[in-house]
């Protein structure tokens, strides 16, 4: 189980590193115009226009910038699986240290928040992939995924805040100890 745990972390870190590498390559090195992550929050006309622009820019790995973004969006599904697993895992580990019932309950709620964030993110990606289909680009066929993007950040953000709150505010030492030295017990009938 420990091996599975380690492999899961390595997988998540690997996917994260790949995503960062792709972002640096497209935005920093090849100077693709426009914010890749901000696309879902643009007004629909502007977002459609940007997809059209990307479809006309060649990138050094071959194909267009839009092809590279499409590939990245597909890889993002792996990242989603990774961060949902990590959030659940961290919340689970913290649950076993969190003695305050209300915060313990919130950490359990994090399981649901992580899954909802992942679901919203997946729907956002499906909508974007549809928007990026060759026969939709530059054809004014664009559906904005911004509601799902917004929920993704709300759910994911809430989960992270709960986790950080629990880790930073949990009592460092405590014991459920009797304070009284005098006998409060009564004899048994047995």
Residues lying near other proteins in the complex (CB under 8 A) are found at: 1-2, 92-93, 95-99, 101, 104-106, 108-109, 111-112, 173-190
CB of 149 to other proteins, least distance (A): 21
Q: Which is nearer to other proteins, 12 or 155 (CB)?
A: 155
| Rounded Cα–Cα distance for residues 31 and 1 (Å) | 43
| Rounded Cα–Cα distance for residues 75 and 81 (Å) | 10
Burial of 1 (0-12, 13-18, 19+ CB in 10 A): exposed
CB of 15 to other proteins, least distance (A): 23
Q: Which is nearer to other proteins, 108 or 146 (CB)?
A: 108
CB of 177 to other proteins, least distance (A): 4
Q: Which is nearer to other proteins, 28 or 184 (CB)?
A: 184
The residue to which tokens 């071959």 are assigned: 62
Q: Which is nearer to other proteins, 98 or 131 (CB)?
A: 98
CB of 45 to other proteins, least distance (A): 36
| Rounded Cα–Cα distance for residues 127 and 145 (Å) | 6
Per DSSP, 26 falls in state I
The residue to which tokens 């790949």 are assigned: 18
CB of 39 to other proteins, least distance (A): 30
Q: Which is nearer to other proteins, 168 or 181 (CB)?
A: 181
CA atoms within 13 A on the CB side of 74: 8
Helix (H) or strand (E) holding 35: none
| Rounded Cα–Cα distance for residues 83 and 182 (Å) | 53
């Amino acid at each position: 189980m420990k091996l599975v745990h380690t492999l899961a972390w390595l997988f998540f870190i690997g996917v994260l590193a790949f995503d960062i590498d792709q972002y640096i390559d497209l935005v920093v090195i090849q100077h693709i115009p426009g914010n890749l992550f901000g696309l879902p929050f643009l007004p629909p006309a502007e977002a459609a226009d940007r997809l059209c622009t990307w479809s006309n820019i060649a990138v050094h790995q071959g194909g267009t910038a839009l092809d590279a973004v499409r590939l990245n969006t597909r890889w993002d599904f792996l990242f989603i699986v990774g961060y949902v697993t990590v959030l659940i895992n961290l919340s689970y580990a913290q649950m076993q240290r969190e003695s305050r019932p209300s915060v313990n309950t919130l950490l359990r709620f994090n399981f649901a928040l992580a899954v909802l964030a992942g679901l919203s993110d997946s729907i956002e990606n499906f909508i974007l992939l549809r928007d990026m289909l060759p026969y939709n680009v530059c054809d004014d066929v664009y559906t904005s995924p911004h509601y799902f993007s917004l929920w993704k950040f709300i759910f994911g953000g809430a989960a992270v805040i709960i986790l950080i709150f629990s880790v930073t505010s949990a009592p460092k030492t405590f014991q459920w100890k009797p304070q009284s030295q005098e006998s409060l017990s009564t004899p048994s009938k047995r």
